[in-house]
Chains A and B, each alone.
Chain A
Amino acid sequence: MPAALYLNVAVGGILTGLLYGLMALGLSVIFGVVRVVNFAHGEMMTIAMYIAVALFAAFHLDPLVMLVPIAAVMFAFGYVLQAGLINVFITRPEHSQFLLLVGIGLIIANVLLIVFGPDAQNVQVAYAFDSFQLGPLIVDATKLYAAIGAILVAGGLFSFFRFTAVGTAIRACADNYTGALVVGLDVKRLYALTFGLGAACVGAAGTMLLLIFDVTPAVGPSYTLLAFVIVITGGLGSMPGALIGGVLIGLTEAMAGLLFNPSAKSMFSFAILVLVLLFRPQGIMGKRTA
């Protein structure tokens, strides 16, 4: 039944892609507002993944239950990082910011290596091998729960930016930095809040991704790259774009893994990135600025 096989792989790819999208959403929010490319994004996600691993190992706490607390911890981490370190660098050139975040990523990855060791770790939840069957379609329970979680978190973030005063203020900073200063907004604090929200997003994504993938201390850079690819594909700074980009990349990787070689799947996402940069540099959902 090849048709059913393709369908199953495609649905699996889309569901995983929603998680990728949530991860990329964090990067997109940070870049869209703070204008800093978070080169330590993947490393920040591995922090959340290891917290979830540790909580599961010690207290048998389900990652899905710990989603909100871990996201809160990551929010605090991101807030402190931006307020303490990155705010100093917001007016510095890109290569200077790059060095800062590469340094932060290096420290994170190696502290995790010291604490947790180099081996791949995961969590074995009771429903790890459950699945739902809808006609010919078989959906993994873990992927479905994670995708629902991703949509809920993304929806919450979207509502925050749309409907709350603080969210509106953050959007004002992103749209017009000088204007935001003129009307008396505390831009540095809003930047710290934004970085915290981005970190919370990637933390939530990492916690749920742990249901699907293993984690090692060295896995950070590849997720950072994946997040770049998704965000640029969807449109840097566009929140729906990040989710759509995530689904597109998740689907592409799943189909490439099925049709070609699983180890070559990332080539296809990079190819998509190059095509998007060439023909629609602002991304699928992005607005043309220049």
Chain B
Amino acid sequence: MIARLVEGVPRRMLILLGLVLAALLVAPLFAGDYLLTVLILILYFAYTGQAWNIMMGFAGQLSLGHALYVGLGAYTAAALFVHFDIGPWIGLAVAVPIAALAGAFIGFLAFRFRVAGVYFAILTIAVAEFARVGFDHLSWTSGSSGLFLPVAQYAHNDLWHLRGHPVMFYYVLLAATALAFIGCRALLQSRVGYFWLAIREDEEAARSLGIDTFHYKMVAVVISAGMTAFAGVIYAFYYNNLFPEQVFHISRSIEIILGPIVGGVGTLFGPILGAFVLTGLAETLTSALAAAGIDIPGAKQVFYGICLLLVILALPDGVWPWLSRRIGPTERK
């Protein structure tokens, strides 16, 4: 099993991966509280970016509404916890199917009726926005006034109820990101993965070769949505409060997809690298502006936006394809 996983991976790449993983494993020992929250954010975006990448990077379906799946996961687990005292891991078992169903709903509507490209992207935004306004008026989850989880005591870490110190969330997210990485690689190496790439490159050609494009696009949406719901559950139990205006907002969807686009769409490292680059950039800007004594709301976002434009202008395929050519871990194919 392990032998199959590492098959065909250059040794340099394995060493690099091992070093990154080791660094991330010991990071909480050295990181202060602030750095730890930044690392948690990075892992959150690395994980959700990886999930989004399955749809866009592998199967070529541009979703701009992944906040929908985060929000459904978060609200399902949180509502079950608040109303019925059901723990997050059982909540997860409910949340994942719900998000996957929402994904299947969008996928079914779009792929059956040949809604593709830009139209598909806008359909995903529309459904997420529909959910945002809908949850604003859903009294079971307290509507727009927000759903609050009872705040935890940090005396001991309760992994089963996800109540405890941020370090626990860090390791949970690290495990999830690592699993997502391995899972995505396995998917890419599988029959389904090759079908996805064929659909992404030329859907007509894929269909003419006998690939059931509807079926495989549905598989991509369902897997991506289900995976994203897990991030939502963690979001709910980490932040302990949920507002439809925040969770389902389109800017949440945009944040999720910036990482993989900047890192490199369709690559396995892109989402992870993109999360580090973007979150790192945002935090660097925050401290740089603070050090320069500039305290203007909006200034950070302007610089952030300019950096985004520069990256996309200079590296159209993202940072990872460029970097992997430099450090050459993909040589000796």
Chain A interface residues (CB < 8 Å from chain B): 31, 37, 85, 88, 92-96, 98-100, 102-104, 106-107, 109-111, 113-114, 118, 217, 221, 225, 228-229, 232, 236, 261, 263-264, 266-267, 270-271, 273-274, 277-279, 281, 290
User: CB of B296 within 8 A of chain A?
Assistant: yes
Beta-carbon contact of B114 and A114 below 8 Å: no
Beta-carbon contact of A99 and B308 below 8 Å: yes
Beta-carbon contact of B302 and A270 below 8 Å: no
CB distance from A238 to the nearest CB of B (A): 14
CB distance from B136 to the nearest CB of A (A): 7
User: CB of B305 within 8 A of chain A?
Assistant: yes
CB distance from B259 to the nearest CB of A (A): 11
B122: contacting residue among A85, A217, A232, A271, CB under 8 A: A232
Which of B184-192, B220-228, B233-241, B249-257 is near enough to bind chain A? B249-257
Beta-carbon contact of B302 and A94 below 8 Å: no
- Do A95 and B298 form a contact, CB below 8 Å, given A274-B109, A290-B114? no
A92: contacting residue among B133, B254, B306, B316, CB under 8 A: B316
User: CB of B125 within 8 A of chain A?
Assistant: yes
Residue of B nearest to A279 (CB): B113
CB distance from B118 to the nearest CB of A (A): 5
Beta-carbon contact of B298 and A110 below 8 Å: yes
B130: contacting residue among A31, A37, A99, A270, CB under 8 A: A270
List B303-319 residues whose CB lies under 8 Å from chain A.
304-306, 308-309, 312-313, 316
Beta-carbon contact of B64 and A98 below 8 Å: yes
Chain A residues, Cβ within 8 Å of B251: 221
A-B contact pairs, 5 of them (CB 8 A): A85-B309, A95-B62, A99-B261, A225-B129, A290-B114
Beta-carbon contact of B250 and A106 below 8 Å: no
Residue of A nearest to B133 (CB): A267
Q: In the complex, A264→B262 CA distance in Å?
A: 35
B173-199 vs A, Cβ < 8 Å mask (1 yes, 0 no): 000000000000000000000000000
B118: contacting residue among A94, A106, A114, CB under 8 A: A94
- Do A281 and B114 form a contact, CB below 8 Å, given A267-B130, A267-B134? yes
List B52-89 residues whose CB lies under 8 Å from chain A.
56, 62, 64
CB distance from A242 to the nearest CB of B (A): 15
Beta-carbon contact of A274 and B137 below 8 Å: no
- Do A107 and B130 form a contact, CB below 8 Å, given A221-B250, A228-B122, A277-B123? no
- Do A270 and B299 form a contact, CB below 8 Å, given A103-B308, A281-B113, A281-B119? no
CB distance from A276 to the nearest CB of B (A): 10
Chain B residues, Cβ within 8 Å of A107: 301-302, 305-306, 309
List B99-125 residues whose CB lies under 8 Å from chain A.
109-110, 113-115, 117-119, 121-123, 125
Residue of A nearest to B304 (CB): A106
Beta-carbon contact of A114 and B265 below 8 Å: no
- Do A94 and B129 form a contact, CB below 8 Å, given A103-B309, A103-B312? no
Chain B residues, Cβ within 8 Å of A261: 137
Beta-carbon contact of A95 and B299 below 8 Å: no
Q: In the complex, A102→B109 CA distance in Å?
A: 26
Residue of A nearest to B307 (CB): A103
Chain A residues, Cβ within 8 Å of B114: 281, 290
Beta-carbon contact of B297 and A113 below 8 Å: yes
A99: contacting residue among B117, B258, B299, CB under 8 A: B258
CB distance from B68 to the nearest CB of A (A): 12
Q: In the complex, A113→B304 CA distance in Å?
A: 15
CB distance from B126 to the nearest CB of A (A): 5
CB distance from B166 to the nearest CB of A (A): 28
Chain B residues, Cβ within 8 Å of A104: 305, 309
Q: In the complex, A231→B258 CA distance in Å?
A: 25
Beta-carbon contact of B298 and A94 below 8 Å: no
B305: contacting residue among A31, A96, A106, A232, CB under 8 A: A106
Beta-carbon contact of A270 and B306 below 8 Å: no
